[in-house]
Structure 1
Amino acid sequence: MMRWVAIGGLCLALLFAGVSAYLVWRNGHLREDLDAATRRLRVAERQADDARQTADVLNAHIKRMQEDRRTYDADLRRLREQEGYHAPLSDFLGDVFDRL
């Protein structure tokens, strides 16, 4: 009887050793997967930050271009009012208009 208890205890110990070895192996792979996912997340966050900065720069350029356009439109309107809308421009104002 004692022999069967010893064999059962040994089998149980081997079973626990196998399960614990499997869990250690699986946790190692899960940790590697977690590290890889963390690195990918950091890269994605940096790309999102770069995209936000790029969008801010582009918005600033667009705003500046819109302000320039409003200025040019106001200058053109003022020039048209001075000369009349359908009247030909003088040489000086024609050159100014061409430069705009």
Structure 2
Amino acid sequence: YPKKLILLDKDTVDPSNLNRQFLFDKNYISQYKTSAIKQALSSRFDINIETVDDFASEDNLEEIFSKHKKENLFGIVSGDNPNTVQLATRFFCKCRIPFLNIGYLN
């Protein structure tokens, strides 16, 4: 499994997430999703998880990914906003970083 995950999102856990997003429970309501996912995964796996509580932008994607060797990167896009999905897709293609789009806006 990966040695490091970087989670980027500014959404918070809402009660409506509990029936479809299995990493969350009622204790995580109102927390940033990145923090909740980090807590849930850290309790199960020995993995380094970095969180960025912000919405994706060209600048923060550039800043995050510039710190790592391109050949060791893989992106996963799970956006609920068409502009965000398009921005991330363009960024990964421009930087030649392989990625999956797993959101419901496929």
TM-score by length of 2: 0.15
Q: Indicate the structure with greater helix content.
A: 1
**Higher CA-based Rg:** 1
Q: Which has the higher contact order (CA 8 A, sep 6+)?
A: 2
Q: Indicate the structure with greater strand content.
A: 2
TM-score by length of 1: 0.15
